[in-house]
Amino acid sequence: MKTSPRSFFICAMLALSVQARSQDIHFSQIFETPLLRNPSLAGLFTGDVRIQAVHRSQWNSVTVPYRTTSLSGEYKIPVGRGDDYLTIGGQVLYDRAGSAVLTATHVLPAANYHKSLSEERNMYLSLGFMGGVVQRRIDPTKMTTNNQYDGTGYNPGLSTGEVFNKPNYTYLDASVGMSFNSQVGDNDRNNVFIGLAYHHFNKAKNISFYTNNNTEMMAKLVGSAGIRLHINELSYFTMQADYSKQGPYTEAVAGALYSWKINESEKSPYTFHAGTYFRWNDAIIPVAKLEMNPIAIAVSYDANISQLKSGSNGQGGFEVSLSYQAFTRSMNSSQDAVRCPKF
């Protein structure tokens, strides 16, 4: 009997679900998830406070969709009378995948110290840390396996053959990162950053639903870079890229956004951003973002170009994000106490 590409895709997704979810959560809108990239990217924005929420839905066209939500917040505090400052914040992640309702919840506080390297220009070296608790859970009652097919069809009365001794478990997770950011040339609105993060450096053990499995969390290295260059008073380009390696798994994401003020005024609160990101050998990702200072909303869509394209009909993941970014206008506002990077 001939197997359709769609059927093959569904079978492959079911067979690889546990392995795939052992890799880290990721988003296509990397510019809306700075803490997930590198804890030392916390605070690299113009303002005192930033709150970002992102929701991703993937594989809706072929099987039970994967849904992932991120909520992060950052608040900057001046340190002493100089230009150094501290960013405190945190990230909460919720991931739900597959017919067996495999879920993961991450609660990760973060802190990032920014050391000023120049008295004349924006130039900082930042060291950040993020660590907290992760809980994973699976619902065995919603799982089906080959053992439940009796030759004539599916028989829910048969055992799945799987015994999960720990249908839920909790572990500690920790990450550290360093980044450098500076203005480019004499225009303080042109900026560049580069950073390196080491995630899961504590390498949590026994992260398995089976008691006899001594699985260890694989550490992950993430390199990040970005640059923003103004064309004129009303428009600019922003380019960013990430490369990550976790055990045998690698991922590269890069892209650019073109941004322009809508009302042809430098002080206009309305800015529109549009561009494209690419995930190497996986997806093309068109992005659109509308900024209504201090609030912004962005949407993106992963058009699948990988080997699973035929089974997914080229469809991948949809993402929507909402962010708030502003000065607090209080006495300890970083607006006057420190120079702010422009990302």
- The three-point CA angle 53-56-59 to 5° equals 175
Q: Is the peptide bond prior to 294 cis by the omega test (within 30 degrees of 0)?
A: yes
Position 52 in a domain? yes
What residue numbers bound the domain in which 44 lies? 5-337
Q: What's residue 334's pLDDT? A: 55
**Closest-CA residue to 32 (of 231, 220, 257):** 257
> What are residue 311's phi and psi, to 5 degrees?
-75, -30
**pLDDT means per 10 residues in the chain (343 residues)?**
40 40 78 97 94 88 78 93 91 84 92 92 94 89 67 66 74 97 88 97 84 82 97 94 95 97 82 96 95 96 75 71 87 54 63
- For residue 342, being part of any structural domain is answered with no
CATH number of the CATH domain containing 183: 2.40.160.40
| pLDDT (0 to 100) of residue 127 | 98
pLDDT at res. 168: 86
Residue 343 lies in a domain: no
Give backbone dihedrals phi and psi of 195, rounded to 5 degrees, phi first: -155, 160
Distance CA(148)–CA(218), nearest Å, equals 33
* C-alpha torsion 239→75→38→103, nearest 10: -110
The number of angstroms, rounded, from the C-alpha of 333 to the middle of its chain's C-alpha atoms is 28
- Which alpha helices (DSSP H) does the chain contain, by range? 5-21, 34-37, 309-312, 334-337
pLDDT at 16: 39
Total domain count for the chain? 1
